[in-house]
Structure 1
């Protein structure tokens, strides 16, 4: 069967610009105004996360969360979150502004705990469930929560801190009463009274300017910092994906919101802002989240088939593994309508591979966001993504972009500079860290630390400032070299970094992991890069790794962990 071609508007930048203008005009669904602080904000919609989640009560018996055989309808979820919120304000005496740590794997109850905090007016602090006890202790000392909402796996990692401070805890998925009997001040979530489906959440006052979340940065360059987002910022983050979905639908000749609700396979860990973008979008559309205990491409295929998954969201590495697994199994991914990547830079060949296999049926989508932007603030999708696979797309209507030179001046289109952002969904600063806040924010603009370029309104991120290699005075953007290496059919993963050179200052080195059974040589890989890029960008050293490259929980290459072994191998040559 031939794949249907998208309507002309999907490939016409001027038509898409008119669609965006129509959606943001006065009185339109995504109308934008200039707020009191000078930033752009959505004129309509909720002003707090409590207002946002309260609308989901009307979705009733629609399925919201699926994890194995466990299911939560929207009504069950909202009743559970309201019940826990009343328990936290009543039995625990917590008040708006108190911090509530949420630390657990992607259980359905993560959502119950997070939204209970919002219904109670608390500041939710989602912590990285992969952290060690030392990392948990650092963050707990930093944010000083008044309650811990943790699962049984995380309890031993926070137990010493909790015993030292006396902070109470609710434990989800504990092994049993005997598993926590040695702890005082801890209760099992399973032992709480059953939620009353007719009971309302507690009556508390929450203002748009109040803090809603503290989300810790990944800490790839040092200690994690707690990025503080207000309710107004987070509700801006709930609207951004809805806006881009509406533009995408209209560009394909569809009316936004028509058709069945999305069913999304959730692969991002809930504690990461990429997951926030996903579950905000699903909740706004009355969609379903299908959860995985851990990533496994074959299990993902099974879940997609069993639950009729329509939307996939994950880091590029897992998306590529999913496509490879589907090809091995001869699985046509018949229910899938969208494949969305985030959390790390997507290699440009990803969209080409998707299109070659499935034509136009599955819409590709990627974007750009940070902890400090509360999730995705740009998006590239459909024909626009296929035509410009190296771009992260257009910014949302409440996100302003500046490409800044060394002194903060705006540089012309087409020139590389630091990406600065300003808008509704940006955080107000870092928790109890005035120095870091002052360093990152200038006149309301957030300095991302990423190098980017804007052409015809499309943003392309070319590298992290700290990752750029300066070879003999020439700038080499690692992302560009990595993209070419990823384009080789026998390369499974690649990372590029600078290594010291006595005359040039730095030279380019690459670490690659080859596909199973690959026989390509190092010189062939260098020649492959040389056919696309200037000679000074070709890696002087290509090292083949037998092990997976080190990545963070959200798919970013941890170059600090690569640097030492790379230098050691080069010294040994």
Structure 2
């Protein structure tokens, strides 16, 4: 197949640069492929054959990159299980892995050494648990002939981040992945054999896997792979790496852009960012002020006004659905927030008391259809795409509900304005308080701008019982505030102004406590569960009469 030919082409010129703890490890793609062939022979001996599934927990290591290709060469389908998330206990994580593996029935489970102790004993007794390194696998038992999945065979099971529910396994064929590679090439203006992609995103997330690793691999780009931990400790490293390697493409979240720009400070980027053509920004609501401030921060280093590229995608569509044309500047528009909640699209002046600025997620990509219902109204976004998953693995009920007639009901709410897609929020984000509907994300985004609130660390849940609403806002403060009351009062005023609802309580949590996916999305359903179970130990509580 085209995909496997690209990934195993011995004449490729690109290089893989992987962060190995102290520095980057540099290996030509052709040598990565040769290593993967050796590991594939060992996997075949371990029972991986065409039609089998291999459960994996993907991390950003050199061994993981090689092992990923090795599974395909041996004929297996890769099942990417979730990494442990913030706020998740070892016992919870173990139960999640056990449930997912019971549905998958995999041939084995490949993990890093640091994850192995989290595997429940009962699961390890039923399923061989192996390290990613070849020395953890049996020696090859004979000649090896690669037999990767065919065009319509299952190639990858992408488990969703679990930001709104328990993880779902999106079943992707080789054809779906190949189509997505072509879509991303169009989105970013890619030049096969002549680009450099840089990423710190986890390979367990669709943006990191398909948007960066497989994209770079497929088109023989140089690929600079850092880690989420390194970015978290030093956000400045993202743009520094791009400057050092002359990167032309990257991907990340709006929150990550904010953190990187803030961390840059007065540090220099001697080699500049003039080569950066496409920085795809997605996975969460994109903030216009963040893009504007980051563009201003990095413009002296050569960053163009067109580099940031807001996009919309879903794991169920492999990845990208819409995106800003790479040569155009990002766009935004201002709407009546209250009208959006009521399902009506009304553009207003920025000075309007209920003004809400939304960033355009761009145009439908080649071969993709995006349906947002009647013009001028907010509706569920329905997608058709050549890279659509064929459903959720082992879950026919969810598949029937979300994939009717070969299209995807995304669960996201949005509208089309001047031909471009604007995403308002998820249907799951809509709360009904006293008969009034509100978007939790609208309040969260507004509170997020406060100087004493950590960016991307705000969640609103309805903790009411017996039909009585109780709106609780949870946040992680920035720094060490001496008085939490002014921050809480500001949040309450924002909730009243933006959505016309009153907060019942503001909960201030220690740094790193709010449950998040590895890509940084708040897991609101787990916030509610942890709150109900009394498992938060807050720094402070502020209640409102």
TM-score, with length taken from structure 1: 0.74
Distance 1:386 1:327, change over 3 A: farther
Quick one: which of 254, 257, 266 aligns to 1:319?
A: 257
The answer on 1:273 being equivalent to 2:206 is yes
Q: For residues 468 and 382 of structure 1, what CA distance do their matches in structure 2 show?
A: 35
Distance in 2 separating the partners of 1:257 and 1:60 = 14
Seen in structure 2, the aligned counterparts of structure 1 residues 161 and 240 have a Cα distance that, compared at 3 Å, is farther
Q: Please state whether the residue corresponding to 2:211 is helix, strand or coil.
A: helix
The 5 Å alignment of 1:14-93 reads 49-55=3-9, 57-60=10-13, 62-63=15-16, 65-67=18-20, 68-89=23-44, 91-93=45-47
Within 5 A, what are the aligned runs for 1:227-376? 227-246=170-189, 257=191, 260-264=194-198, 266-275=199-208, 276-283=210-217, 284-292=219-227, 294=229, 295-296=232-233, 297-300=235-238, 303-304=241-242, 306-327=244-265, 329=267, 334-335=272-273, 337=276, 338-359=278-299, 361=304, 363-376=307-320
The change in CA–CA distance for 1:476 and 1:129 in structure 2 (over 3 A counts) is closer
Aligned pair partner of 1:160 in 121, 125, 132 = 121
Q: Conserved in 1, the CA contact under 8 Å of 2:492 and 2:503? A: yes
Deviations 1:400-424 (A, max 9, x none): 1122xxxxxxx21221111111211
Deviation readout 1:205-227 (Å, 9 max, x if unpaired): 74311111112223344432322
Name whichever of 156-165 and 465-474 sits farther off: 156-165
Q: Work out the CA distance in 1 between the residues paired with 2:400 and 2:173.
A: 18
Alignment match, 2:131 = 171
Partner of 1:563: 528
| C-alpha distance in 2 between matches for 1:502 and 1:60 | 61
1:241 positional shift = 1.1
Structure-2 separation of matches of 1:333 and 1:414: 46
Say whether the 8 Å CA contact 1:496–1:508 is kept in structure 2: no
- Residues 1:547 and 2:507 are matched in the alignment: no
Quote the Cα distance in structure 1 between the aligned partners of 2:494 and 2:148.
61
Alignment pair present for 1:213 and 2:213: no
- What is the CA deviation profile of residues 415-447 of structure 1, one whole-angstrom value per residue up to 9, with x for unaligned ones? 111111121111111222211211222111211
Residues 179-198 of structure 1 deviation map (CA, whole Å, 9 limit, x = unaligned): xxxxxxxx526x968xxxxx
Preserved CA contact (<8 Å) 1:216 1:226: yes
Secondary structure, aligned partner of 1:356? helix
CA contact (8 A) 2:157 2:171 kept: yes
Q: Could you tell me how far 1:142 is from its partner in structure 2? A: 1.7
Unaligned runs of 5+ in 2: 86-92, 334-357, 535-540
CA drift of 1:83 comes to 2.2
Deviation for aligned residue 1:479:
2.5
* Corresponding residue number in structure 2 for 1:393: 362
Q: Does 138-147 or 560-569 show the bigger shift?
A: 560-569
Q: CA deviation at 1:312?
A: 3.9
